[in-house]
Structure 1
Amino acid sequence: MTEEIVELAQELIRRPSRAGIDDYGPVLTALEDWLAARDLPYRRLYDDGGRPVALLVEVACGRPGPWWALDACVDTAPYGDEGAWSFPPDCGDVVDSWLRGRGAADSKLAAAMFCRIASEVQAQAAELRGGLAVLLDADEHTGGFGGARAYLADTAAVRPAGVMIGYPGRDEVVVGGRGLWRATIAVHAASGHSGSSRKSVGAVSRAARLVQLLDEAELPGAVGEFPLPPKLTVTSCHGGEGFSVVPDLCELGIDIRTTPTFDATAAEALVRGATAELDQLLPGPSPTDITPVASWPPYRLAENQQPAAALLDAATREGLTVRAKTAGPSNIGNLLAAKGIPATAGFGVRYEGLHGTDERAYLADLPAVHAVYRQTVLRLLTNGSAPP
């Protein structure tokens, strides 16, 4: 059973699908060939530009009930410095129980496992309730979440009662995540010659003062049941050219991780307050501009809320010690939460090198992880909402 999963995962790793670099056609075709050979219904999903961004597998059951979804990405991070790898990034081989190659951990092994579970559900679909969707997302690592967006926008797809995302990590079921608010800030100044006798404060210097104000801003701590505090990071700074010109523009990138008690509105208010203070302390020729770029809400499922409850219970029944976790980074679960769809965003095999050098996934964990997801899905499709 797990041999079939590993063989498909190997085939996927050997078809590079780096976000924004590789053509996704080969990896999607490998999945389509596997699904077609097992008579599983699938179709491609496309973005507004007609580009394929996902495969959607849909297994309808014989009795009425809610649909549930499994989600795994089949695009990957780039390789980085290939010379630093101790094996080819697209080798897809198995050494000492480790599946090696980019995407082994995030998340081609999970995609292969979810395809297998779809096949298992189809074999007994007549006796089950509702249906199972498997979303194989080819636009996750871009940050655009194109596959998930296409799924949610597809009027032919049944809206799921909950989603389980197959990110790796055996000790935790991720049941929530901080949100985010991101913006670019344009800081202005009067241009001139750097050797001029006229005193001037360039845009880079003004931006540096703004960075200081942002770094000194007080953020609240963790409040209530949400276990993480908000966090502000200045992620980029671009301005000036050469040495003889006082720069008239410097752009900053700002990333704020939000919480239920410090949301996107509070994040934007903090940044606008800092820019207003800058413009008062060091006036420029025009006000500092803020351009919001992205915003996701934070979310956290209760441990007795589905599908978290069923997944945690199945892990316990399998003899695993697993805790519920709220993640610092955002993920597709935040997008789903904004649409009112509860999601878990991580439980899988142990791993190394995710997004880094020598990525690999520990196959000795696969039988138990597969059993947990299979048991979870079958209980949800049997009971409609499995008890905790």
Structure 2
Amino acid sequence: MSKDLRPSAEARTASVVNLAQALIQCPSRAGIDGYGPVLGVLEIWLAKHALSHRRLHDDAGAVVGLLVEIPGGHPGPWWTLDACVDTAAYGDETAWSFPPTSGAIVDGWLLGRGAADSKLAAALFCHIAADLAPRADTLRGGLAVLLDVDEHTGGFGGALAYLADPDAVRPAGVMIGYPGLDEVVVGGRGLWRASITVHAPSGHSGSSKTVVGAISRAAHLVRLLDSAELPGVDDDSGFPLPPKLSVTAFHGGQGFSVTPDRADLNIDVRTTPGFDAADAEALVRKAVAALDAESPAPASTQVTPVASWPPFRLSATQQPAAALLNAAVEARLTVKAKTAGPSNIGNLLAGQGIPATAGFGVPYEGLHGIDERAHLAELPTVYTVYRHAVLSLLDG
């Protein structure tokens, strides 16, 4: 099938790039820019191509995504293509060698924030929807395209609103358009996150009376956590990565003359099937108990869990991973199934019992960094792979 689709993909590449350029030139930094303009670019394009779409909102009424739906003419499961159109911040703009909203093409690279993550994928997925809409009555189930504008916040509001929408059909699986040509990401470590508040008596730093302040107690807790023994790779589960614990924030005190009575920490634990959220919480609470026993304070150390996502990993024969891997082989690509260390929307979906792939796309540089860019020579092949995968799922 890929031989039949390749000419169509090559013909569509210029249009895909044009839409991606328009999206890149519209700032949509998470938590900084409003999302109305970038969604407006998509809505104009979708309306021009007669694709049914609607905005998604969170519980507070804020817009968090755009949903395109193409129902097939025969019963069957629905499948979803997902790409975010909000982006990371620019960072130090003076360090960029081109404007972050450039959208220019230089030496075969599409330049600008969102080129890699994931405005090019959003443009590609919109075009696949436009390709399939005229033949929708021949398809089984249906295709949804989710265009998320609450991804880089970590809130994943678009995905949550989609899954909570009573009018949307729950998908049998999702393919997320993160970039990278050599791998199909079929899994990721989960996470358990908590904030920790450490207490102590306050005092004057110059007092003749020695006071073990909250910062010193918190520093000791960090040492306990850093030295905590975590298991290695669990060979029995087949999950290829070990768990990992990181202290990611440390706040406390002000000025110089006061020994503070409070310090706050953020803890991030990446989990696996053999070391899950319950294990992570137990490990952290054990370290906290040891701190309070060794160095008592007027109030016990508080642990407040703030987020928990399960790890996930699809087998090479499980959909939609199988469809995407098979389509890549048909396109004569050498790809491997990868389990990623960072978490992503795939973890959120796994918690809902929805299998997902979380990455296959064009080569890229500078994702979340300076000089973000996406290489366009491989775009027709990536287009072919995704379109082949979607058709294999919808043709049943």
Tell me the TM-score normalized by structure 2.
0.96
Q: Does 1:243 align with 2:256?
A: yes
State the Cα distance separating 1:89 from its structure 2 match: 0.4
Q: Give the count of matched residue pairs.
A: 383
Counterparts of 1:170-319 in structure 2, within 5 Å, are 170-223=181-234, 224=236, 225-319=238-332
The Cα offsets for residues 229-262 of structure 1, whole Å up to 9 and x where unpaired, read as 0000000110111111111101111000000111
Match of 2:24 among 2, 6, 13: 13
For 2:345, the equivalent position in structure 1 comes to 332
Over 2 Å off, 4+ runs: none
The Cα offsets for residues 3-56 of structure 1, whole Å up to 9 and x where unpaired, read as 000000000001100000001001000000000001000000011111111000
Q: Does 1:2 align with 2:13?
A: yes
What is the one-letter code of the residue matched to 1:252?
Answer: L
Q: Does 1:165 align with 2:198?
A: no
For 2:149, the equivalent position in structure 1 comes to 138
Secondary structure in structure 2 of the residue aligned to 1:136: strand
Distance 1:269 1:49 in 2: 34
The Cα offsets for residues 80-136 of structure 1, whole Å up to 9 and x where unpaired, read as 111110000001010111000000000000000000000111121111111000000
Q: Does 1:83 align with 2:94?
A: yes
Distance 2:304 2:360 in 1: 36
Distance 1:316 1:128 in 2: 23
For 2:132, the equivalent position in structure 1 comes to 121
State the Cα distance separating 1:283 from its structure 2 match: 1.0
State the Cα distance separating 1:61 from its structure 2 match: 1.1
- Structure 1, unmatched stretches of 5+, are 384-388
Secondary structure in structure 1 of the residue aligned to 2:179: coil
Distance 2:354 2:152 in 1: 21
Secondary structure in structure 2 of the residue aligned to 1:260: coil
State the Cα distance separating 1:282 from its structure 2 match: 1.0
Distance 1:244 1:61 in 2: 70
The Cα offsets for residues 45-71 of structure 1, whole Å up to 9 and x where unpaired, read as 011111111000000111111110000
For 2:51, the equivalent position in structure 1 comes to 40
Distance 1:66 1:242 in 2: 60
Secondary structure in structure 1 of the residue aligned to 2:395: helix
Distance 2:183 2:88 in 1: 22
Secondary structure in structure 2 of the residue aligned to 1:291: strand
What is the one-letter code of the residue matched to 2:252?
Answer: G
Distance 2:72 2:331 in 1: 26
For 1:96, the equivalent position in structure 2 comes to 107
State the Cα distance separating 1:200 from its structure 2 match: 1.3
Q: Does 1:349 align with 2:348?
A: no
Secondary structure in structure 2 of the residue aligned to 1:187: strand
State the Cα distance separating 1:189 from its structure 2 match: 0.5
Q: Does 1:63 align with 2:74?
A: yes
Distance 1:333 1:243 in 2: 45
State the Cα distance separating 1:144 from its structure 2 match: 0.3
What is the one-letter code of the residue matched to 1:160?
Answer: P
Secondary structure in structure 1 of the residue aligned to 2:129: helix
Distance 2:308 2:138 in 1: 42
State the Cα distance separating 1:274 from its structure 2 match: 0.2
Secondary structure in structure 2 of the residue aligned to 1:180: strand
What is the one-letter code of the residue matched to 1:323?
Answer: K
What is the one-letter code of the residue matched to 1:140?
Answer: E
Distance 1:244 1:127 in 2: 75
**Aligned-residue CA RMSD (Å):** 0.6
State the Cα distance separating 1:199 from its structure 2 match: 1.5
- Structure 2, unmatched stretches of 5+, are 1-11
For 1:386, the equivalent position in structure 2 comes to none
Distance 1:324 1:45 in 2: 32
State the Cα distance separating 1:76 from its structure 2 match: 0.2
Match of 1:361 among 365, 374, 396: 374
The Cα offsets for residues 308-351 of structure 1, whole Å up to 9 and x where unpaired, read as 00100000110100000000011000111111100000000000
State the Cα distance separating 1:285 from its structure 2 match: 1.1
State the Cα distance separating 1:206 from its structure 2 match: 0.4
Secondary structure in structure 2 of the residue aligned to 1:117: helix
Distance 1:246 1:159 in 2: 54
